[in-house]
């Protein structure tokens, strides 16, 4: 009985928050300015070279939130044609198990991008196009216009890859370039190559660029995808980088090896402890609102509206990740 009440209450709280209900229309406390419109997780963006049939076959079983079939860096120049010939069958064979299917095309200006788009836009299912090395809004416009021409009914979204200093400088304009853009992605290796930065284990040399990408994404209600962990055999480094990225505000991370997927998706989902605290904050807010209190104490820490909004976001993200918050905590 108690479990049923808890589930019903939790469900009511999230539903009310999504509707942005007000005190005049609901017995539940309102949360002004709360935005829970995001409906899709993109924790692990798993690159699969589209020139390697064995890897394509293995990708069909991947639990990654986003399978990104790669026509760019993962494919040598002399195999681009082969990759294009395989990408349509890969997209068609992935099946309903895949949460999101995308293709990383070659950069605008490479001379390869139009052929890539002409092929991939024929696919029966294509959820997202990742454009690498985006430096100006014009790169986004080029792809968007070609989508309108070749697949006018398509709802395909765009991930904009920020990989150069020029991309960082123009990032606000890129973020607003087209309604199809729903994510900004940071590529560390290309950024270092462009700027001459030397990579270190501490990653401090990348902090500014990563912060700009994450902050700009949130400013325009976009997702933020963090850099690849190149040392794909070191799971400790992967976990450290993933947790750091989540703490910086990234919503997901690029992945280049199947063994990286589970750790990344775990790190970019709320922990049980975080979910339990978020549930107590939301529940406490509802109770104190009825007493006319705007702020309250929880475990010796002050809880006010920004913290309440954070808690709702945690519960919403947990739900999207398949975590049952009603079974966590008291």
Whole-number Å distance between alpha carbons of 259 and 247: 22
Q: Give the position of tokens 């270092």.
A: 192
Q: Tell me the two tokens of residue 116.
A: 């890539």
**Beta bridge partner(s), residue 254:** 45
Q: What sign has the CA pseudo-torsion 161, 162, 164, 170?
A: positive
Cα of 312 vs its chain's centroid, Å: 18
CA angle 268/273/276 to nearest 5° reads 110
Question: d(Cα 326, Cα 314) in Å, to the nearest integer?
Answer: 13
Beta strands per DSSP E along 265-310: 296-298, 301-303
3-state secondary structure 179-242: CCEEEEEECHHHHHHHHCCCCCCCCHHHHHHHHHHHHHHHHCCCEEEECCCCCCCCHHHHHHHH
How far is the C-alpha of 321 from the C-alpha of 271, rounded, in Å?
11
> Looking at the annotation, which residues are catalytic?
304
């Amino acid at each position: 009985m108690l479990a049923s009440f808890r589930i019903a209450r939790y469900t009511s709280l999230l539903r009310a928050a999504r509707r942005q209900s007000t005190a005049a229309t609901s017995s539940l406390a309102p949360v002004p300015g709360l935005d829970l419109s995001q409906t899709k997780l993109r924790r692990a963006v798993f690159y699969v070279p589209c020139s390697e049939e064995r890897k394509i076959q293995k990708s069909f079983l991947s639990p990654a939130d986003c399978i990104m079939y790669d026509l760019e860096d993962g494919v040598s120049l002399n195999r681009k044609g082969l990759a294009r010939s395989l990408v349509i069958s890969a997209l068609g064979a992935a099946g309903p198990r895949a949460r999101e299917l995308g293709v990383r095309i070659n950069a605008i200006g490479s001379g390869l991008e139009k052929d890539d788009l002409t092929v991939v836009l024929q696919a029966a299912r294509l959820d997202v196009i990742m454009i690498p090395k985006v430096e100006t809004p014009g790169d986004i416009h080029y792809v968007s216009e070609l989508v309108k021409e070749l697949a006018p009914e398509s709802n395909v979204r765009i991930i904009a890859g920020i990989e150069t200093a020029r991309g960082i400088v123009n990032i606000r304009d890129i973020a607003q370039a087209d309604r199809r853009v729903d994510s900004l992605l940071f590529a560390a290796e290309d950024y270092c190559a462009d700027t001459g930065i030397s990579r270190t284990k501490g990653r401090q040399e990348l902090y500014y660029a990563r912060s700009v990408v994450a902050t700009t994404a949130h400013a325009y209600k976009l997702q933020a995808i963090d850099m690849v962990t190149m040392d794909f055999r070191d799971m400790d480094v992967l976990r450290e980088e993933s947790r750091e990225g989540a703490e910086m505000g990234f919503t997901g991370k690029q992945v280049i090896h199947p063994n990286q997927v589970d750790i990344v998706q775990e790190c970019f989902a709320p922990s049980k402890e975080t979910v339990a605290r978020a549930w107590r904050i939301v529940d406490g807010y509802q109770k104190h609102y009825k007493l006319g209190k705007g702020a309250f104490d929880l475990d010796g820490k002050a809880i006010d509206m920004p913290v309440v909004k954070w808690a709702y976001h945690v519960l919403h993200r947990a739900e999207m990740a398949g975590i049952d918050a009603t079974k966590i905590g008291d």
